[in-house]
Chain A
Amino acid sequence: MNRDWSTLWPLLWEAFGQTLQMVTIAMLTGGIAGLALGLALYVTRPGNLLANKAVFGVLNVVVNIVRPIPFIIFVTLLGPVTLQVVGTTLGTEAFIFPLSVMTAFGTSRIVEQNLVGIDPGVVEAARAMGASSWRIITTVLVPEALAPLILGYTFLFIAVLDMSAIAGLIGGGGLGDFALRYGYQRYNWMVVLVTVAVIIVIVQVVQWLGNLLARKVLHR
């Protein structure tokens, strides 16, 4: 059954919306959680602001365990938790949960790596002025690393878009699912090509926005 483009366009549009929804929510929730986790990793590292061997050790091990799990396996592995949190293991919402969790873990490392580039002398200067640790985190660490953080999030966006392509596995829809079902499985290469083109445009726009923002906040 080969459909013509008059029926395909609305389907593509719907898939586009689903992908955007998944990626946006994952970037927001996972991005914020990952920022917190990355900051926690950085400040508890021995020698840093709130050095704490035990906390750092636990966080570090957990992140190292979760990150290498292939995402397609992680989605099924997290199934029972997803069921508890979302109430179902099928559909777009059910897919957003594992996507957000993995995004958080991915973000944490990127955040931590970008914070390492901050001159410790600046942190010391803020301490010498009587700033509290919380104030240093919010007014020194994040603003000083903002440009690389923006680029890091841009990079992450593409990884999340990549992960979202397998949402069809649990009936989550999205562009990846569309390309596979209406393109690959029906030998309609045009559908695959058009989907790829749409993804390329999304990536280009986001990358351009990220670069623009990073340049704007970079005063060094």
Chain B
Amino acid sequence: MSDNTAGPAPGTPAIELRGVSKTFGEGDRAVHAVDDVSLTVRAGEIFGVIGYSGAGKSTLVRLVNALETATAGTVLVEGTDLTGLPERKVRGIRARIGMIFQQFNLLSSRTVAGNVAYPLKVARWPKEKRAARVAELLEFVGLSDKARAYPRQLSGGQKQRVGIARALATSPTILLADEATSALDPETTRDVLSLLRRVNAELGLTIVVITHEMDVVRSLCDRVAVMEHGKVVEVGDVYDVFSAPSADAAQRFVGTSMHDRPSPDALARLRERHPGRLVTVGVREGASSGTELFRLLREHEVDGSVVFGGISEVGQRPFGSITLELVAPDDRIATFLAALREHADVVDLGTAARPVDDPRAVRAERDPQGEQPDPGDDLGDPYGAARDAVLRHGNLGNFGGA
């Protein structure tokens, strides 16, 4: 597309949060959805925010376009301080920030073209310009033939592509994606993620991705913040977080996405089949661990066979590990491992007779939450809470009255 307005230069801060808190309710019933968060999202990057349901990530992203107002701290979007800004000015800034949603939130009474045109009407574009822009956007997301269809006639993936076209309509410089793929099947998720990658690469938008799926972070994001109980517990390059997660929550999320290291159960079965010395060797970008591994095996005359592992991409760079069974006298294995440790991250799992636990594998398995995070509403969704209350009590408050 031709028309993307120039945002700030790549690398400069697009979004800055400084000591931001958001509290719902007061006193004993207060919920600290976002608790003293400081973050910088750089222009042009894809920034992930991952956390379980209720971690505060949905509230956090709504502070960026002022759908929620911060209780404390400062929110800067491209240098403009949103805190304390009057509603009229906030609306102007919102037009520069696109947003897509888990449930797509399309207007069911309007066609696909009508939905994409809606933000343009809000921005008071003249009619002819609107039509041209809508056609261009639908072309970009590959839905030109659905312009006159209504949302109910579309699949989930198509709906989200309409959502993306709508979010891009006014040529924003920032796109907020709130669990944008959580309601989609794996294949559709891949399509939508690659579309988001195109939005970032071709149009240069800064994208903030809210998710509970580490796979989304792994395949899409440049940097990631891990949230737990309203706080950011870890933030960094996706590759670094994957290779050396330090916070508990970060380790659990990495464990849900990477299956290259044997779980305790899998390790027990491995030991039954392979009584020799088991070691897990990390494979990283840059480090020549792959080449060195086989050279050192030959050099130290150690027999090695691959028994477990996997190497895939994290942030489009190779990442993973392989687990080997080593057969050789103990002293040769010891010198081999010492030499290998200079080139790669090695975890010694011992032998079937004298096992050693892999600390990473244990951590990844420990928390049962990690297996089934709830993709539902965050704590910070006041509508959700009201909706739940209505559903739970089965009445409509005063609606039925009189």
Chain B, interface SS category: mixed
Cβ of B197 < 8 Å from any Cβ of A?
no
Report how far A60 CA is from B123 CA in the complex, Å.
35
Report how far A128 CA is from B175 CA in the complex, Å.
11
Cβ-defined contact, A140 with B107, below 8 A = yes
Given contacts A64-B398, A122-B106, contact A128 B387 (CB under 8 A): no
A to B contact number (C-beta, < 8 Å): 93
Interface residues on B, range: 35 or more
Measured between beta carbons, the chain A residues less than 8 angstroms from B385 are: 47
Cβ-defined contact, B387 with A120, below 8 A = yes
A146 to B: closest C-beta gap in Å: 6
Scan A112-153; emit 1 where CB is below 8 A from any B CB, else 0: 110010011110111111111001000110011010000000
Cβ-defined contact, B94 with A144, below 8 A = no
Cβ-defined contact, B109 with A219, below 8 A = yes
Given contacts A64-B398, A116-B399, A120-B387, contact A129 B105 (CB under 8 A): no
Within 8 A of A (CB), among B62-99: 65, 67, 91-95, 97, 99
B128 to A: closest C-beta gap in Å: 20
Cβ of B126 < 8 Å from any Cβ of A?
no
Cβ of A32 < 8 Å from any Cβ of B?
no
Cβ-defined contact, A143 with B109, below 8 A = yes
Measured between beta carbons, the chain A residues less than 8 angstroms from B387 are: 120
Measured between beta carbons, the chain B residues less than 8 angstroms from A212 are: none
B184 to A: closest C-beta gap in Å: 16
Cβ-defined contact, B118 with A126, below 8 A = yes
Cβ-defined contact, A119 with B105, below 8 A = yes
Measured between beta carbons, the chain B residues less than 8 angstroms from A140 are: 107
Cβ-defined contact, A129 with B118, below 8 A = yes
Scan A173-216; emit 1 where CB is below 8 A from any B CB, else 0: 00000000000000000000000000000000000000000000
Cβ of B318 < 8 Å from any Cβ of A?
no
Measured between beta carbons, the chain B residues less than 8 angstroms from A220 are: 108, 150-152
Residue of B nearest to A146 (CB): B109
Cβ-defined contact, A128 with B99, below 8 A = yes
Cβ-defined contact, B109 with A129, below 8 A = no
Report how far A68 CA is from B170 CA in the complex, Å.
49
Given contacts A47-B382, A47-B383, A113-B399, contact A131 B109 (CB under 8 A): no
Cβ-defined contact, A68 with B399, below 8 A = no
Cβ of A63 < 8 Å from any Cβ of B?
yes
Cβ-defined contact, A130 with B91, below 8 A = yes
Given contacts A128-B97, A130-B123, contact A122 B107 (CB under 8 A): yes
Measured between beta carbons, the chain A residues less than 8 angstroms from B106 are: 122, 125
Q: A113-B396, A127-B67, A219-B150 are in contact. List 11 more A-B contacts (CB 8 A).
A: A47-B382, A112-B399, A119-B103, A122-B106, A122-B108, A126-B118, A130-B93, A130-B123, A143-B109, A219-B151, A220-B152
Q: Which residues of A come within 8 Å of B, CB atoms?
A: 47, 60, 63-65, 67-68, 109, 112-113, 116, 119-122, 124-132, 135, 139-140, 143-144, 146, 217, 219-220
Rank and list the top 3 A-B pairs by shortest CB-CB distance, nearest first.
A120-B383, A125-B105, A219-B150
